[in-house]
Structure 1
Amino acid sequence: MTVPQAEVTLDEFDVMDAAVPEGLHVELIDGRLLITPAPDGDHDENVRSVADQVRARHPGLHTYQARGLAVPARRTGRARVDGAVAPLGYFRGQPSWSDPSGVLLVVEVTSGREQDAEVDRTDKRDAYAQAGLPVYLLVDRHRGEVVVHWDPEGGRYRLRSEAVFGAKLALPEPFDFDLDTTELA
């Protein structure tokens, strides 16, 4: 759900983030407050599938789930990503809303609600590109596909590739392997 209003300040966001009931996540993307339900089991299994494959090929990398990133996009933002792939130990000593500069890949899985999926497809994609995050992987459960965006420049990802669930999806450097999407749903 997107709360219709003018740009939310970081101070206002911090108050809302501290007060949100358990079972809800609050994010600030491009100045807009987003409130989403906590992920369901299928959502978590999709992140796990990607994480297992990354770890099998790159043992020095770890996928941190539900990690808060301070996304310095056009407007200051806060994104609670489904998966942040970074070197093991990268987040040690960092605050709840961490510096994303060492994150190599962000994984998002669309929620169970179709109306929330467009945020992952466009708003978060654009915020991550503006923040210079090298690779953005979207598991789109509503469209039955996985989309990878990479090579951010000028606040946009220059390259994109997709595959339907069940097909292989080539991940770009520094991953450089074919993601098996047969477990995704």
Structure 2
Amino acid sequence: MTPSTADDAQMSVEEFEQIAHHAPETVTLEFINGRLEVKHVPDGDHGAIFMWLLRQCMQHRPDLDLHPEQGLKIETYRKGRARPDGALAPVRHFAGEGEWSDPHGVLMTVEVTSNDADTDRRDRVEKRDGYAEAGIPVYLLIDRDTGTLTVHSEPKNGSYQQSPTYPYGATVEFPDPVAITFNTEELKNYAR
């Protein structure tokens, strides 16, 4: 897919923010590559996986919070807006911020794939690239389709340089600045 430019974007970022602000609670909107994206409402397994990860982060790094659905300004050139399933940042990092925060200081973003047709393009490509371009040190993709976790790290020139993939059940080591290691055996309970 060819990335959009400011000239062929569906709307301005200001128009998007106005639409997103007035969207009903049953819909989550994002603005990626100059295009309006609808993020599907998560199912029970999606929520259980996120809660498992939240507990892991709290146990290993009580100095950090894993914020669900925190709006981030990504893609400096195309002025993107994304709501990762989770944004790991120091405690109180987002206090006083508005609906869309600067990604500076975010240590890791997290996406758990959903059962929809957009997952491949959105979570595995566009968001990955947007988070790398924004300089977010780590992007964790929990891929329910493949039963794996991919830890993208070392963003450089809009791409992550490292992307090891681990099967559910493996011990996963997150690089600095996240610096967490945990066993993913629990995720086997959510494999379908």
One fold, TM greater than 0.5?
A: yes
Contact 1:149–1:159 at 8 Å: present in 2 too? yes
Note if 1:90 corresponds to 2:93. Answer: yes
Note if 1:81 corresponds to 2:88. Answer: no
Note if 1:151 corresponds to 2:154. Answer: yes
Aligned residue in 2 for 1:70 = 73
Q: What residue identity is the alignment partner of 1:118?
A: R
| Shift, 1:114, TM fit | 4.5
Note if 1:29 corresponds to 2:32. Answer: yes
Cα RMSD for the two superposed structures: 1.8
Q: Whole-Å Cα distance in 2 between the matches of residues 16 and 66 of structure 1?
A: 17
Contact 2:76–2:134 at 8 Å: present in 1 too? yes
Q: Whole-Å Cα distance in 1 between the matches of residues 76 and 112 of structure 2?
A: 21
* Alignment match of 2:112 (pick from 105, 109, 112): 109
| Shift, 1:81, TM fit | 1.0
What is the CA deviation profile of residues 157-180 of structure 1, one whole-angstrom value per residue up to 9, with x for unaligned ones?
111111111212221112333232
| Shift, 1:86, TM fit | 0.5
Gaps of 5+ in 1: none
Q: What residue identity is the alignment partner of 2:125?
A: T
| Shift, 1:18, TM fit | 2.6
Give the ranges of 4+ consecutive aligned residues of structure 1 lying more than 6 Å apart after TM superposition. Answer: none
Q: Whole-Å Cα distance in 1 between the matches of residues 141 and 58 of structure 2?
A: 18
Q: Whole-Å Cα distance in 2 between the matches of residues 117 and 51 of structure 1?
A: 24
Q: Whole-Å Cα distance in 2 between the matches of residues 90 and 121 of structure 1?
A: 26
Moved more, 18-27 or 80-89: 18-27
Aligned residue in 1 for 2:167 = 164
Gaps of 5+ in 2: none
* TM-score, normalising length: structure 1: 0.91
* TM-score, normalising length: structure 2: 0.88
